[in-house]
Structure 1
Amino acid sequence: MISDLHPGYLTWDEVDPARHPFDPSSAAQVVASLGPARRVPGPNAARHADDLWADAMSYALAEHYGRWVLGWRWSHDEGDFDGGPVGAWCCPRGSIGTPEETIARVAEALREWRAWLESLAGWFEAYPLDPASIDDQRILWERAARNLIWQVVDRTGGGSGWYGHCGQVLSWFLQRWQVQAGVAETLVAEAIGGRFRSWTGPDLVLVDDVAERLAQTLHWDTAPPRSEPDHLERWLEIRASVPWHDASDGGEGGPVTPSRDGAADDIRLFDGAIDLARADGLLAALELARADATRGADLTFERLQSWQQHVLGTPQPPPFRRSPAFAKGGRERYGIAPGTRARLDACLAESAYDRERPLFLTARAARAYLDVCFFHPFDDGNARAAFLALVFVLAREGVGLDRVGLLRRVSFQADDPEDPLTLTRSINVHLASTRREASR
C-alpha cells in the first residue's frame, strides 16, 4: 500500500523534464487558477483540513501538469514525506498561512522541485552511458553514482530519511540509461544495503563502496525487453490465494453509527478543495449508495453504473470499458475479454455474507474495493467507484466510519500478495477507532 500522492514512488519516465513541459514564469498563475487555491483553510478549519487541502493541491497540480509535480511538497527532514530536496515548503501546518502566502509558497516549491529535476537530468546526461558496453564503462558508472550520492546529500542536508530519495535518484539514473525501473530499484537497494542513516551524512569510504558495488552488479541482461502483463489476471490469481481470514475483523460487534460522517467529511474537504462540482457529484453518489445499502441491494456492475453517473456527471450511466485500461503511469495494464464484465459481477456478488463460506465484513469490503480497482470498469473515476463499493458493503450491514484517511489516497498493486490484507487491516483500524469514539 502506497500513497497515490507520494513522490518517492515516481519513476524517471514520470519526472523526466524532457517529457513534461513546464514554464516556471507561469507557475504562480497556474497554482492560483486551481480549485484548492480558492479554498485555502483558515485558522478555524476542521480537523485535518490542512492535510487534506495539501493533498487536494497535489491532486490538482498533477491533473494539470502530470504526476512529476508531486515532489513540490517533499521537504527537507521530517516534512510531509521525509527526507526530500525542497526547502520552500515545510508541511501543511507550518506552511499554510493567508491564501496569498500559501499560493506563493506552493508556486515557489513547485519551481524548486522542477529545478532539481532539471539539475538531475543535466547530471544524467553528463554520463552518457551505453548499456551495451557496460563492462568497458564501469569506472564511468561508478563515478556517476558517487557524484549523484553527494548531490543528494547536499540537496537534502543529510537529514531525516534522506537516503530514500538518494536511492530513488540512483534508480532514476539507471532508468535513464535503459535499465527497467524494478530492476534498477533492486540493484540500488542491494548496493546500499541499508547502510545509509538519517541525520548522518555518509563517509567517503561508504560512498565509494556503494558506487563500486552498483557498478559491479550491472549487466546488459538487467534490462530485458518490456512486456505487457495482464494485471487483472494477476489480481484474480492473487485474490484466490489471499488468506482473507488472517486479518482479524474490526467489524465484530455489529452495526455502528459513527460520531461523524467520515466519508462525507473527507469528500467535502478533499474533493471540495479540488472542485465543488466534483464533490457534489461524489456526495450524491454516496447518498445513493447508502440508500441502496439500506434496502439490502446487491452489489453489481449496474449498481456501480448508477453511482458513477453522479460521480462523473454524465447524462447516461457510463458503459463498461471497451479496451485495455492502464493505471499507475502505465505500469499496470488491465485486459479486456468478452467475459470480463460477467467475471466482475461474480466477484462483486461475493461481497455479501455467505453462511456456507462466512468471511469477515472488513475482508469482504476490502476485496470488493480491490475488485473495482483492478477490473477498472470505467474510463474514469475508478478509485472513487472502488471507495463507494467499500462504503456500500459496510453500510449494508449497518457499519459506518468516522474517518477514511487510510482508504482514499493510497494505491494498491495488483500483483502484491500483501496489499489485500493491508487494506483489510486499515479498515479494521478505522472501524475500531469509530467504535471507541461512538461509545464515549
Structure 2
Amino acid sequence: MSESPDALAVWCRVRQQVDWSTVVPADPVPPVRGAVDGLAVRYDGPVRRRDPARADRLLTALARSRADAARGEPLGPQLPASWQRLVLGVPEAPFRDGDAFAKGGRERYGLTPHTWRDFTGCLRESTDAAVPLPARAARAYLDVSFFHPFTDGNARLFLMALAHVLDLEDVRLDEVGPLPVARYPDDPDGAADLAVLVTVLIRATRRRAARDTHRPPPVSPRAKAGGPRPGSGPAW
C-alpha cells in the first residue's frame, strides 16, 4: 500500500497560489471590540457543555494569548507552544518528531529537516502589512492547521492563532461559530473563502458594536410606571 500524499507539502504549494493581497478588500481595518469575546463564549458554552475541564484549560490558554497580544507579541512557534501547554495541561508541548495525521488518517502531514524553519517563516508573515488583516488571520489559521505542529490537540489552536493575529490590531470578533469547519490543503478557493468569512465576521462585529453603543439604556419597569410611589423610599 502506497503512502498517502504529504498534505503539508500540498498546502505549501497552494499557499503560494493564493493571492492573499487581493482576496479581500485592502481597506484598513479599524479597531473593533464586540460586546463579548466570541472565542471565550464558544469555550464557555458549547465546549463547556461537552467537557468542563477542557473549557477551563482553553479559557486559561485564551487569557494567555490575549495577554501576549496586549504585549505586541507577534505570532511565532513559541506562542502556540505556550498555549498548547495550557490547553493540554502539561508541562511541555514539544513539536512533533514524525509525520502527523488528521481526518481519520486520510491526511498526512510530513516532517522534513526544513519543516520548523518553514513554519516559523509562515507565521512571521502574519504581520505583513501588505496583506489585508482578514487574509493574514485566515492564513495563520490554515498554517497552524496544516503544519500540525503538535502530536495532539492541534485543532484547539487554529482559532486561537486566528484570534491572536486579529487581536494584535485590536480586532476581536464577537462570533466565531462559522469558522471551525473542515478545511483542505488542496483547496485554494476554500482558503480565499476563509479570508472572506473573516472579513464578514469583522464587519458584523462592527455593526453590532455600533448598534449596542447607540442603543439607549434599558428602562426599569418602575421608571416606565412613572417613578416610585409616594413613601416607597428612594429609587436607587
> What TM-score comes out, normalization by structure 1 length?
0.47
Residue of structure 2 in register with 1:403 after alignment: 175
Cα RMSD for the two superposed structures? 1.5
* One-letter amino acid of the counterpart of residue 334, structure 1: Y
Question: Could you say what secondary structure the match of 1:299 adopts?
Answer: coil
Asked if structure 2 preserves the Cα contact closer than 8 Å seen for 1:234 and 1:415, the reply is yes
What aligned pairs does 1:343-354 form with structure 2 within 5 A after superposition?
Answer: 343-354=118-129
User: SS of the counterpart of 2:108?
Assistant: strand
Please name the residue that 2:70 is paired with: 294
Q: Give the fraction of aligned pairs with identical amino acids, expressed as a percent.
A: 46
The equivalent residue for 2:87 is: 311
CA contact (8 A) 2:74 2:168 kept: no
What one-letter code is carried by the residue in structure 2 that aligns with 1:400? R
CA contact under 8 A between 2:32 and 2:170: conserved in structure 1?
yes
CA-CA distance at 1:250 after TM superposition: 8.9
Residue type at the aligned position of 1:412: R
Secondary structure in 2 aligned to 1:350? Answer: helix
Q: Residues 267-318 of structure 1: CA distance to partner in whole angstroms, max 9, x if unpaired?
A: 11121011111001111111111111111112111111111111111122x0
Q: Which residue of 1 aligns with 2:117?
A: 342
- Alpha-carbon distance between aligned partners in 2 of 1:380 and 1:425, rounded to the nearest angstrom: 29
Alignment of 1:385 with 2:160, yes or no, is no
User: Residues 353 and 376 from structure 1, CA distance in 2 versus in 1: closer, same or farther, beyond 3 angstroms?
Assistant: same
Q: Equivalent residue for 2:48? A: 272
Whether the 8 Å contact between 1:250 and 1:431 is mirrored in structure 2 is no
Going from structure 1 to structure 2, the CA distance change for 1:251 and 1:365 (only over 3 Å counts) comes to: farther
Greater per-residue helix proportion: 1
- Residues 229-249 of structure 1 deviation map (CA, whole Å, 9 limit, x = unaligned): 111000000001102133224
State the match for 2:102 in structure 1: 327
Contact 1:249-1:362 within 8 A present in 2 as well: no
Task: Could you list the structure 1 runs, at least 4 aligned residues long, displaced by more than 4 angstroms after superposition.
Answer: none
Pick 1 or 2: higher relative contact order, CA cutoff 8 A, min separation 6.
Answer: 2
Instruction: Report if aligned partners of 2:29, 2:133 keep a CA contact under 8 Å in 1.
Output: no
1:401-440 correspondence to structure 2 within 5 Å: 401-408=173-180, 410-440=181-211
Q: What is the number of equivalent residue pairs in this alignment?
A: 211
- Pair 1:378–1:307, CA change in 2 (3 A): same
Shift of the 372–253 alpha-carbon distance from structure 1 to 2, 3 Å rule, reads: closer
Which residue identity is paired with 2:209? A
- The answer to whether the Cα contact below 8 Å between 1:293 and 1:395 also exists between their aligned partners in 2 is yes
Paired residue type of 1:403: E
Aligned pairs for 1:11-22 within 5 A: none
* Letter of the 1:383 counterpart: A
